[in-house]
Structure 1
């Protein structure tokens, strides 16, 4: 088996869903391929991180969404559940009750983790490579990584309180930061995927965290095929991406999206989400 074939099966391999012969061939390949072994290690690392998450209690809003889903004609007449993995191994019909169970599990984030490999096409392929360079360098030296990003894309150093003049909204950092962080700089950066507000924050120990706030719905182009997992952090459905000794995290916050680069662990993601929720910032468009 080659790397492409194995990487498409890594999710099912990790979940123990492969037939014995296929599992053995994947295992044999991983034993001789450091790249694919690294991909598998990424899944294992993210799984360990996710295991510390608490299970949220379903809210009234979630139950309302469940009822709405059950009332939709499409579910009653043609209930199709697509597999969560990228290998498209099967597609099957399910009864209404199973849809309810699946919806509840998805809503509360109980033991249902989706491992994916994000692949991009067209003009965004080049951006994926460029941003990948930034991600790799951020783990080693955030200052060098920042220089790479600013040299690559059009940008402007701004006062976050005046960002609305540039992007049409007041970014999260304009309301301050949790006590253990200080704001080092804020830029508006025009990237191929979007125009975003990026802030570099310094922790008390001197290490750094990058916060991106953006309008685009997804960050597929940002992370390429890096191992990632979708879980609930606090009340947000969050994508965690493995970055060697660090992780990245992305979720929807109000009408926009927040992406963190250089996160130390899931606890830090939870802390920042809690802080943002407490601020309950108004949306200015």
Structure 2
């Protein structure tokens, strides 16, 4: 089996839904292919992110919604698509070539979830790889990650209140941050996807959080093929990606996107979504 065939079966493989012969072929491929093994690890990480949720028997209404979503473009790639309002039920949505997951996850106050993995590669593959290096390094050493990013792209250190002179809008961080955060620095960075405003923020314990505000239409290239979850966070539809026990989150903010790197958990994502919007 090749990588493309295996990746189409990973969801069913992870859920234990493959026939024995298919399972054997997929398992053999994963054992010899680091790329596909990494994709499978992504499913496992997302499962751990959902470990606090309890299982719930899906109603016919929920299954109807899942089937409708199979023919729609990925929610992560089209933030205009809205999940059905239901405060406590969740659904999996994967490409039609995948097998539907059998479990509906429940969590108070989060909204509908879409479980998916991106395998498409956009026109900015080089940027995706470079930003992927940043995402990998950030949980280990955010200072080094920042140096990597600034070394790759033309940038300018600015006062957030004066950023509008360069980019035509005032970044969201200019209005301030919650009491437990301080603004460390703000850069305008010219990347292949767009010109963005990046702000480095420090928590009261000294740990680091990065906030990007950018005017590109899609966010797929920011996270590449990393497995993602789509969740409703404070009435904003967010794409969430786990990055070594931290979370990256991106949501639509007017005509732009805000991308958060290094959140500790969903509570922090919700807090910052509410504040920055």
1:53-202 correspondence runs (5 A): 82=71, 84-86=93-95, 88=97, 109-110=111-112, 112-122=113-123, 124-202=124-202
User: Structure 1's 13 and 82: CA in aligned 2 closer, same or farther, altered over 3 A?
Assistant: farther
Task: Specify the alignment match of 1:236 in structure 2.
Answer: 236
The number of aligned residues is: 234
C-alpha distance in structure 1 between counterparts of 2:257 and 2:9, whole Å: 30
CA deviation string 1:5-63 (max 9, x = no partner): 32232234345554554344324444565543442232232244356589xxxxxxxxx
CA deviation string 1:142-198 (max 9, x = no partner): 111111111111111111111111111111100111111110000111100011100
What SS is found at the alignment partner of 2:232? strand
User: Structure 1's 52 and 259: CA in aligned 2 closer, same or farther, altered over 3 A?
Assistant: farther
1:30-41 correspondence runs (5 A): 30=30, 33=33, 35-41=35-41
RMSD: 2.7
Structure (1/2) with the larger helix percentage: 1
What SS is found at the alignment partner of 1:150? helix
TM-score, with normalisation over the residues of structure 2? 0.74
8 Å contact kept, 2:11–2:98: no
C-alpha distance in structure 2 between counterparts of 1:80 and 1:44, whole Å: 23
> Which region of structure 1 is more displaced relative to structure 2, 169-178 or 213-222?
213-222
1:44 aligns with 2:47: no
Give the drift of 1:250: 0.6
Give the drift of 1:3: 3.5
Give the drift of 1:221: 1.4
User: Structure 1's 80 and 242: CA in aligned 2 closer, same or farther, altered over 3 A?
Assistant: closer
User: Structure 1's 130 and 87: CA in aligned 2 closer, same or farther, altered over 3 A?
Assistant: farther
8 Å contact kept, 1:8–1:87: no
C-alpha distance in structure 1 between counterparts of 2:217 and 2:14, whole Å: 28
C-alpha distance in structure 2 between counterparts of 1:254 and 1:16, whole Å: 41
C-alpha distance in structure 1 between counterparts of 2:227 and 2:274, whole Å: 25
User: Structure 1's 53 and 272: CA in aligned 2 closer, same or farther, altered over 3 A?
Assistant: farther
Q: State the structure with more CA Rg.
A: 1
Unaligned runs of 5+ in 2: 55-67, 73-92, 100-109
C-alpha distance in structure 2 between counterparts of 1:229 and 1:274, whole Å: 19
Unaligned runs of 5+ in 1: 55-78, 91-107, 278-285
TM-score, with normalisation over the residues of structure 1? 0.72
8 Å contact kept, 2:8–2:98: no
8 Å contact kept, 2:163–2:169: yes
